[in-house]
Structure 1
């Protein structure tokens, strides 16, 4: 029982600050007990962690940490006597067997946890039990399977700033991925962090309180401006981020003399970030070696740029409304069978390719897999039998894998051979990549299977790990154990015959070991050589010198056997760790095949086509569909639509899209963006046919969002996002805008919308779909040659309208907003008055002609019936009140 459980003070519930609670700085250390003094000294070494201190069957915390975890974990807060003149201090603890569960909760709340374990048996300790911090768990350094999401990476990132230049490195220590980059646009640093969604971010600072962890939302004067504070940030000393130290650390870890092969030799900020990250891993992981893949340098310009707003609006991995996986693009496309494949698909969707050869290589594999249903089914069935090779190799390399992990690894390595045989006739690049299993891994799998029991226990210190015939000494000890157990079994029979007591039994108790039990009624018949050991209500228990001698022999042999099994297992685990890099290389190839097989499955059952990747800027879609909405509806319910953009002389660069609310304008915008994105991922797309040029960026401005935390209104957020688009879009970009200018006065909003549309069409010539309720923008198509009007059709009936969800050429003249209000349930009197006001406004408003007259691109005025409206008359507008 823990000291917490034995405390005689009444427990204090979470949220109560006990009178005996004092901060560490308020206590005279000379007055503390040796144990508490050791705790406080360790806490000084890890000031910004929660220190879990092993005491018997519990991990205890004291002082400030006790109050923190009691509140964070909703535990009972109690107290403990801590020495002379100190009195009681706050204490809270957790059972040792629930360490993983509670650490997962603490890390999930943004805390770092230092684990202090007992390094010797308390029963054999002389004085204070030796304890050491064996690992530090921070949000970005989690390795335990139960604390990780199987289908998402857990990234630890680090960045270094130098003016507008920055370098960043990130790693997932559970999978071994380790990448770095450098860039000159500081805005892109925030976008990269938002793409990666790292669990923890390191950055160097001159702050006096270094190594401080900032939890999500916590601000600090030392956090660089423009960096989103939604992550856990750990401030670090500058020393570990200096160029000489960082470069030396990378070379030392990976055993290289130059960083040329890693592609970052001439990227000093990238080197500094990567080196600082490695130092942090060494400090937190202690003796555990983390087998990272060799550092890889990537360049942002190698991938399509998707800013955070576009990822959110397109709902690539999460829905924008409630942040759930269900209803996202990833949800619609994920038919992967392995955790590795699930993570790979997520990465692919967030980093679409710009290289048409890589895109076509993925398309070739999907095409090959989609043409043979039986083959694809066998492939996916086999993939489902492969465990998470990346993380299994990582746990083996770090020394945290258990026997079941290695058995799973052995089974997976065996499946790799089956996979190679299955795809032996594959023609595409990605299938050919898994057609050969390295002989080293084949031998490793055989060795693991021949050494390990098929169903070993989780514990590594209780035996039953290693098969018979592996080690002669282990076989001898097991044979001796069998002999000793037989002796024990025979003892009961022999003693019954010797004593004449038919109910005599030989039993075992953890506290006293082996004993001879005789009922109280027969205890007088116990032989003289029996030594009474324990008296119970109905039984007397005895031992004999011979029994105790045999017991000692059994225990010693068992201890020796368990230790020998453990040593053999550790050697096996170390051997696996040496090949972690090769295992992960193979795993990456398997993950790619898994992703492509899943995309082929989706393509077949959802009726997708293979897009033709064109050299120019064209977007040509026949019967395009929204992949998520279509999957959410019954078969055949989704109305497909065409899209034509970017082909000189054939299709416009900018489409003005009008139509009523809820008619499908936003869905149309998003489906064009998602089809373009899916094509550059290498996927087939939801359309009858598709011809698509490579797109460097996709920009979206959809929906009304405010940012109250920074004091920005909905309209200001809209203007900020619009400014970002206009400042970064190119003629190879795809811009999707919905309702620009609706957050301010009518004249202001219409003017902004008009000028934004003109700028995109004329100055940038980006491929753009501009959805709006400003029907006056339809005039722009008569002024600018690369602009066209499209509308979403409706069918009007006497008492209702029917949305047809069909996009056709031409501009809508009405938005049917009042009808939408009626459908939403506005009172009839409100609807009636709205129609009266609208009638008067339509009579007096001549905004469109005024905009046309004032445009620098104006053509001769358009005849309105038999009368041309003069420019001066077009400025007149009065409300009919």
Structure 2
């Protein structure tokens, strides 16, 4: 499949659907004409390159480790080694392009602009950074002035800086992390620019840093270094001598200069970004390493987003010790987000419990289960809300029904704040904002904490939704610079321009009628195309009847095309008016979008409340239909589970097939009772293979985890003391990557439990 079907000077590029497409004879011949020394931009004589190629090379020299996509007309092209890499990774056709006198042809691969997002998604998934260089002025204007079209870098797309909807998983965060290490201490900051979340922390023990990264699963991690290869990116599985040993190789790492991660520069950048005089209000004034990580991350966003403003929420500080700690092995063995055997979502704890209706709720549920609470008040607030929702079926059903009609407020707001939202995004946002008062009304009689949080919706958000709905048409076009966005009656100037445009179109329609009558040519037509503009079409058989004032413009096989001075004059008016009309509509739309950005903090605050109630409605639904109970949470050391069940296995079997099991460990309800507690806190369970030992072990761990997440639990009755860590050691296999036998893997995992329990 050719990406350039009508242009011999531009190369063909296949789409992913044409996988395995062979080179056309033209492309093959072009590829063969590339001299070996022309495959590398570093070895060609830059002075002999065409102006466009010189500009391409100048940008490439600034970003040698990224793939550069350079806008040329309706395509994004790339040259030299980038062309070959792009063709290889995406299975596109590589061809060539003339690069200048004395140079000859160089490798080229191109992709159509309308599928750029899809190709960038594939490249990012493979661990590449992509630099987008766009045309920032009208090509016709540059051509009239006899100069090259002005192009600028508009954004740099990396795995951790995705904003476009098609590049993101709706139910997972896409975190960018920054790490600063000082001996055995470390600082960590992470952000999801699509939702605006921004967090930082610091602690001691590099092993804890590793576990925190494994919890977050960031798409990209920034590492400050003095290494000479700054800007390079390690794809998952790759290693480098500059990568600290404590960091797992399963992530994508980007090496950054040290300066932005210095205390002075990082702190100043945070102060300027959030317009504050001190970081005390964010709780991180004395978190030196955390501040350094956050400031370095912020600098990276400023560099990569270029013309895009990323609306981050105020930096929030957290302490790892405030949450139940699950190391990576325990998360894996408990199969919280994926199964051990197949690494699939189906069969995981989230699969069994996720009944959320919104994307926001789905993302938040994942975070809740990967970071359970230690604070009993926080746990009980969630339990209280679930209890109220289980007891009030009508309220639960009404809330869930309404939640299904609410779009992803967090990410819609993120796109609007960054100037990426289109008309459809704003319509979806408005529809969702106008549902908030209904949610508040449903929650009005609620007594539990999370229902009360929904009862107060800022009136300005409803007003914003009403304004967007009043301004934008019900089904706006995908592209925001092509008109047909704004309703009539919104702007008098816009209405006048539309009236003039309609009058001009009517003049064109009348012209066809009057010219047919005047010339007595029945098949005369008035047409339009982008190349020649408006024209009068007459079949060649009627050419002898053409009036003297017709000027021949084009000859085709079966027709002649003409213009008249009057038609060209009217054409200029129509095209200019259309441009002005589209520009005014865009300006009105951009103003609306900017208003959304101004309310971003309020919208995100409400969206967090909506996500939380979505989670709790879903957990209440599971509790009702699966027969879960509310666990009694105590301060002491106690596990008392009566007729407990494994939440996943139970749902995987026919109803009634799972045999419940009880567990009793410890008996102290309070901290004071622990000193005299004589009940056993250890169970040694033996039995043959496949008798359920691992299931029982996981079951107890999952019930404790669910309770501290705020969920009801699969049991007839449960009394649980809060715990600060959960460990599981279930089975093992050889770890060939690190050269460890099954026995060694088991010993290391057991040692980890004994060292931290």
Give the TM-score category using the shorter length. over 0.9
Q: Which residue of 2 aligns with 1:567?
A: 587
- What is the deviation of 1:550? 1.5
1:31, 1:453 → 2: CA distance? Answer: 52
Q: Which residue of 2 aligns with 1:682?
A: 710
Moved more, 343-352 or 420-429: 420-429
Preserved CA contact (<8 Å) 1:13 1:75: no
Matches within 5 A, 1:172-183: 172-183=192-203
Matched, 1:97 2:114: yes
2:109, 2:541 → 1: CA distance? Answer: 49
Q: Which residue of 2 aligns with 1:51?
A: 68
Preserved CA contact (<8 Å) 1:413 1:442: yes
Q: Which residue of 2 aligns with 1:204?
A: 224
Matched, 1:156 2:176: yes
Preserved CA contact (<8 Å) 1:362 1:596: yes
Preserved CA contact (<8 Å) 2:27 2:94: no
1:489, 1:41 → 2: CA distance? Answer: 51
Matched, 1:308 2:328: yes
TM-score, normalised via structure 2 length: 0.94
Q: Which residue of 2 aligns with 1:719?
A: 747
Matches within 5 A, 1:627-638: 627-638=647-658
1:723, 1:4 → 2: CA distance? Answer: 62
SS in 1 for 2:85: helix
Matched, 1:522 2:542: yes
Q: Which residue of 2 aligns with 1:353?
A: 373
Higher RCO structure, 1 or 2 (CA under 8 Å, sep 6+): 2
Matched, 1:703 2:731: yes
Q: Which residue, out of 460, 464, 468, partners 2:480?
A: 460
- In structure 2, relative to structure 1, the CA distance for the partners of 1:550 and 1:13 (3 Å cut) is closer
Q: Which residue of 1 aligns with 2:683?
A: 655
SS in 2 for 1:153: coil
1:462, 1:537 → 2: CA distance? Answer: 33
Offset from partner CA, 1:430-469 (integer Å, 9 cap, x none): 0111112101211111111111111000101110111111
Q: Which has the larger radius of gyration?
A: 1
Q: Which residue, out of 459, 476, 484, partners 1:439?
A: 459
1:627, 1:368 → 2: CA distance? Answer: 22
Offset from partner CA, 1:638-668 (integer Å, 9 cap, x none): 1110011122667421111011111111111
Q: Which residue of 2 aligns with 1:68?
A: 85
- What is the deviation of 1:74? 0.9
Matched, 1:493 2:513: yes
Q: Which residue of 2 aligns with 1:115?
A: 132
2:391, 2:269 → 1: CA distance? Answer: 49
Moved more, 574-583 or 326-335: 574-583
Q: Which residue, out of 332, 349, 370, partners 1:329?
A: 349
- What is the deviation of 1:91? 1.6
Q: What are the ranges of 5 or more consecutive residues in structure 1 without an aligned counterpart?
A: 730-881
Matches within 5 A, 1:375-390: 375-390=395-410
Moved more, 120-129 or 206-215: 120-129
Q: Which residue, out of 479, 482, 496, partners 2:502?
A: 482
Matched, 1:617 2:637: yes
2:214, 2:38 → 1: CA distance? Answer: 40
Q: Which residue of 2 aligns with 1:374?
A: 394
Matched, 1:532 2:552: yes
Preserved CA contact (<8 Å) 1:20 1:90: no
1:709, 1:69 → 2: CA distance? Answer: 30
Preserved CA contact (<8 Å) 1:52 1:113: yes
Moved more, 203-212 or 84-93: 84-93
Q: Which residue of 1 aligns with 2:11?
A: 5
Preserved CA contact (<8 Å) 1:12 1:18: no
2:25, 2:572 → 1: CA distance? Answer: 39
- What is the deviation of 1:412? 0.4
Q: Which residue of 1 aligns with 2:563?
A: 543
1:461, 1:359 → 2: CA distance? Answer: 49
- What is the deviation of 1:538? 2.5
Q: Which residue of 1 aligns with 2:428?
A: 408
Offset from partner CA, 1:45-94 (integer Å, 9 cap, x none): 11111000111222111112112111111111222232233333222111
Preserved CA contact (<8 Å) 1:334 1:599: yes
Preserved CA contact (<8 Å) 2:34 2:106: no
- What is the deviation of 1:371? 1.1
SS in 2 for 1:701: coil
- What is the deviation of 1:12? 8.9
- What is the deviation of 1:25? 2.4
Preserved CA contact (<8 Å) 1:315 1:329: yes
2:204, 2:557 → 1: CA distance? Answer: 82
- In structure 2, relative to structure 1, the CA distance for the partners of 1:697 and 1:18 (3 Å cut) is farther
Q: Which residue of 2 aligns with 1:665?
A: 693
Offset from partner CA, 1:149-208 (integer Å, 9 cap, x none): 000000000010111000000000000000000101111000000000000000111112
SS in 2 for 1:316: coil
Preserved CA contact (<8 Å) 2:385 2:450: yes
1:87, 1:542 → 2: CA distance? Answer: 41
2:103, 2:555 → 1: CA distance? Answer: 43
Q: What are the ranges of 5 or more consecutive residues in structure 2 without an aligned counterpart?
A: 13-23, 669-676
- In structure 2, relative to structure 1, the CA distance for the partners of 1:307 and 1:570 (3 Å cut) is same
Preserved CA contact (<8 Å) 1:679 1:685: yes
Preserved CA contact (<8 Å) 1:20 1:88: no
Preserved CA contact (<8 Å) 2:383 2:710: yes
SS in 2 for 1:401: coil
